[in-house]
Amino acid sequence: MTLINKDPVIQAENIYATGVHHLHLVDLDGAKSGQVENYLIIKKIRQKFQGFLELGGGIRDQKTAKTYLDMGIDRVIIGSAALEDPDMVKELLQQYGAERIVIGVDGKDGKVAVNGWLEQSDVSMEQLIKEMIKYGAKSFIVTDVKRDGTMEGPNLDLLMKLTQKLPQANIVASGGVRDLKDLHNLKALGIRDVIIGKALYEKTITLENIAEVERNAS
């Protein structure tokens, strides 16, 4: 893991000031422990970042999801719990709606990975998305674990397969995005939402690039 900024609150403020008003935030400690690990920092980020804020990492029960949603987090990401406790996810979707609950589908070789990517399941990513659609979910952050942080480009084959087989699902691409060409390739697949991480810090995509894409999409 690479430390980009010692103060994530300042980093969030800098991102907003550049004109990027959608922030994807992950509690990496919580993703591994399955518990709330950085509550106070997340609360400060929510207070300072005036745009749309989604949060993932360690949200595996209703209490944790409620804590963050009541804090003002716009949307929470449910990952491992979608596979391990689908009834809980169904209740969250019924209570808060699909606009505030997004399903994180992390996988390797087409199979779902859980618990901070530490474990591999036998359930396919497509199968999990289908099941969650039945429960009312609409948006799915699809991450190819092998591509995440590699700067090798997104797994277009996987994403094309999912968008073709599940046209009713809003697929959010995550993992491997490296430049504007990747964004254009994803747009050609009909994918409008993309998570950009390492490319931003490696400066192959700039905050100004992202802000311009946001403006053109709105």
Calculate the CA 174 to chain-centre distance. 7
29 among known catalytic residues: no
Length of the chain: 218
Residue 131 CB neighbour total at 10 angstroms: 17
* Region label for 71, one of left (φ > 0), alpha (ψ between -120 and 50) or beta (otherwise): alpha
Q: Which of 7, 87, 106, 109 is catalytic?
A: 106
CA atoms within 13 A on the CB side of 69: 21
- Cα separation, 129 vs 135, in Å, equals 10
Helix (H) or strand (E) holding 121: strand 119-124
**Cα separation, 83 vs 70, whole angstroms:** 24
Q: Which of 82, 49, 77 is nearest to 64 (CA)?
A: 77
Just list the catalytic residues.
Answer: 106
